[in-house]
Amino acid sequence: MAHRVDHPRDLDCYVCREGQEYVHAIAGAATILFERHRPVHPATGESACFDSAQPHLCLPRGEQDARIPVVCAGPDTAAKLLQKYGETP
């Protein structure tokens, strides 16, 4: 999933999901805020990997939007995808 990071309407909208999350800035720069940890600041060409169960929020850093492909993986992710598309794990 590619995510375009633009200025959010609601800064209290932290998200979390099971598993790990990997992000890579392909354009622009972003700040990933965490409720209980220091922020991460990926810029063009930089990556970050973190526990996506930790509530987090991704914001653009600077005047331009950021383009950030996001990969999420959890213990049940493959099984859920296989079930969704009619396969059995």
Nearest partner of 18 among 69, 58, 68, 78, judged by Cα: 78
Is position 70 within any domain?
yes
Angle at 50 between CA 48 and CA 56, to 5 degrees: 100
The reply to whether 77 falls in a domain is: yes
| Inside any domain, residue 71 | yes
Cβ-based neighbour number of residue 26 at 10 Å: 12
89 part of a folded domain: no
What's the rounded Cα separation, in Å, for the pair 66 and 7? 10
- What is the count of structural domains for the chain? 1
pLDDT band at residue 12, thresholds of 50, 70 and 90? low
Residue 7 has pLDDT above 80, yes or no: no
The predicted model scores a pTM of 0.70
State pLDDT tens for residues 54-73: 999 888 888 888 888 888 88
Asked, for residue 52, whether it belongs to a domain, the answer is: yes
